[in-house]
Amino acid sequence: MALAATCTNPRVRVEWDSYPTADRTSFVNAIKCLMGKPASGKFAQAKNRYEDLVALHQTLTPNVHGNSKFLIWHRYLVWTFEDILRTECGFTANMPWWDESKWAGKFAQSSLFSADWFGGIGFGGGCVTNGKFAGITLNVGPGSGNTKHCLARNGDESKTANTNSAMVSACNSRTDYADMAACAEGGAHAWGHNGIGAVMQDTYASPGDPVFWLHHLFVDRNYRIWQNADSGRVGYIDGTDRVGNKLTLDTIVSVNGLRPDVKIRDIINTLGDKLCYKYNY
């Protein structure tokens, strides 16, 4: 049975190419604001508020990858990030998402990866030297360890080519949630991470690259498109967690205290009271 839409004025997540310049600036500045705030103290490896989110992802990586919790947990992670931007850094614009299917095989040509915004991807695994986040130091990662390193990228368009609409559609053609989620994780999601490379290819600490959020907004948007194809899907979950427990609408989703724990039923419908957002297409 579908969980009815209950929010009356959902925020609209806007695709990057039609995202106003002023909102792009506000989004970047809000991320920088988090990077300049003290960490919460919940994660010893986090040296600023932004890195609380990176450390959360690092800590929970084994639990939220390679199993059916992947999509639903990352949905709540991205919402948590958005809520922290809004409540702690005064971000008021809509969130941007990036339609990677339009840029498959040519990520480097998108304005997202320009010196004006998030910097290039063609650094051969070296440090990003242009864009709004050039020169930042990352303290969480690599991997499950923690040593200071730079924001690096290693663009490979032979990999980004696999974020195309055919890949997305192939996964979204699956009618079972667990099958679709596994396909999504290993499909456009994985190819986007690996095609940007370096920090983004680090499963544990990939949120250290701010592009992570636009990538996962794309992943979440594709999940929402799958849900839109059958109204019952906003009240349907199956599959298992890391240790084999079956997922139900009452399964708890946790972000380790950055925001309150929720049940899957609270966040499975983006048009419910808790999340209250949709995508512009």
Please report the pLDDT score of residue 75 as a whole number. 98
Residue spans of the domains in the chain: they are 11-279
Q: In angstroms, rounded to a whole number, what is the distance separating the alpha carbons of residues 95 and 116? A: 18
Please report the pLDDT score of residue 2 as a whole number. 60
List Cβ neighbours of 238 (8 Å cut-off, separation of 6 or more). 68, 176, 177, 178, 246, 247
Spell out the per-residue pLDDT of the chain, length 281, in tens. Answer: 566 678 999 999 999 999 999 999 999 999 999 999 999 999 999 999 999 999 999 999 999 999 999 999 999 999 999 999 999 999 999 999 999 999 999 999 999 999 999 999 999 999 999 999 999 999 999 999 999 999 999 999 999 999 999 999 999 999 999 999 999 999 999 999 999 999 999 999 999 999 999 999 999 999 999 999 999 999 999 999 999 999 999 999 999 999 999 999 999 999 999 999 999 99
Tell me: the pLDDT tens digits for 33-68?
Answer: 999 999 999 999 999 999 999 999 999 999 999 999
Q: In angstroms, rounded to a whole number, what is the distance separating the alpha carbons of residues 9 and 194? A: 36
With contact defined as beta carbons under 8 Å apart, do 235 and 270 qualify? no
Please report the pLDDT score of residue 144 as a whole number. 98
The alpha-carbon radius of gyration of the chain (Å, integer) is 18
What is the length of the chain?
Answer: 281
Tell me: the pLDDT tens digits for 124-165?
Answer: 999 999 999 999 999 999 999 999 999 999 999 999 999 999
**11-279: in CATH 1.10.3680.10:** no
Please report the pLDDT score of residue 171 as a whole number. 98
Please report the pLDDT score of residue 1 as a whole number. 53
pTM more than 0.75: yes
46: alpha, beta or left? (left if phi > 0; alpha if psi -120 to 50): beta
